[in-house]
Amino acid sequence: MFYREAGQFKTNYAADMAVFPILQDKIGIAIILALALVVIPLVGNAFFLSVVMIPFLVFALASIGLNLLTGYTGLLSLGTAGFMGVGAFACYKLTTIFPEVNIIVWIFASGLFSAAVGVFFGLPSLRIKGFYLAVATLAAQFFLQWCFIRIPWLYNYNVSGAIEVPTRTLFGIPVTGPNASPEMRYYVVLGLVILLTWIASNLVHGRIGRSWMAVRDMDIAAELMGIKLLPTKLLAFAVSSFYCGVAGALMVFLWYGGAEPEVFSINQSFLILFMVIIGGLGSLIGSFFGAALIYILPIVLRGAPSLVGLDIGAATVEHLTFMIVGALIIVFLIVEPHGLARLWQTGKQKLRVWPFPY
């Protein structure tokens, strides 16, 4: 009875096409933002912010980037981790060459470098698609990972061969490096994720998003309707790679504090792809659901035995975590192949008409 649209009349097309057409949706978003901006930093400790919330937001942003390409445009990519690595190494080089420039500027600029690389490797998308395109992006993943290891200039010829994040400040407060507090790093990541999610929402609900979805549904029909396939697909690769590049820079500079090239391996690409599939293809909120299920749920399961007083070995807990998460993924895919986002939409629709079944 609390989630109804009765009495909420639309008087113009803009209100009818709004992303959140019901007042309760807007209130729900406001509550979520209040929890993220106020409650979590006040209640959560440094461990919770650094180990749970910051990685969750980074993975959610990377999932949004891949979802724009795979979910909205229908172009399968297995090079997500490689594009994240481009963003991380580009941000590292830029901030070491120009240390006086604000680190936020270089985080966004690193996304532009990743977008350029994504456009280059997206050129075959005009001729091939499906598994053939996946193989092409897989080749991009292996090539970029080889570059991260074999080109010493990218990591400033460090003996360790890794990125060593320097201390950078924002308004005089350290946001990267060993002196940065978890609260400050969390706020920076949260602000960037909120901004980029809002931009992605406007993209997918506008002309560009409709063009992407037309190409996804049937590219030949989209071309007959006047949509130019090459610019549309390359734009999808560029925007997706930009988001992945920013996520990679956030991962290294505001989460890890340093990283080796192995961080951007093929396993990372598959992990983010699983988040997108489980959360729901073609859904921004599904990217957050998928990141929560794949990353946060194992952390909860690892800590559950100690909370209830069970004395179980760490290795056993790890094995049980893999088994439970894998079983839940299979169950979710069987119950709803379109992901957790579809379950969320179905639940909201049932609330709108409750107690009636239609």
Distance CA 7, CA 206 (A): 27
Question: For 127-145, how does the pLDDT look when each residue is reduced to its tens digit (9 = 90+)?
Answer: 888 888 888 899 999 999 9
CATH numeric code, 20-353? 1.10.3470
Scan for tokens 């420039």, then name that residue.
101
Closest CA to 140 of 123, 153, 126: 123
Peptide bond into 355 cis (omega under 30): yes
Torsion of CA 154, 156, 162, 163, to 10 degrees: -80
- The answer to whether the CB of 267 falls within 8 A of the CB of 294 is no
**First-last CA distance in the chain:** 15
Question: For 136-195, how does the pLDDT look when each residue is reduced to its tens digit (9 = 90+)?
Answer: 899 999 999 999 999 999 888 888 888 888 888 888 889 998 888 999 999 999 999 999
Q: How many helices (H) and strands (E) does the chain have?
A: 17, 4
- The answer to whether the CB of 268 falls within 8 A of the CB of 75 is no
Question: For 250-294, how does the pLDDT look when each residue is reduced to its tens digit (9 = 90+)?
Answer: 999 999 988 888 999 999 999 999 899 889 888 999 999 999 988
pLDDT over threshold 90, residue 85 = yes
| pTM reported for the whole predicted model | 0.92
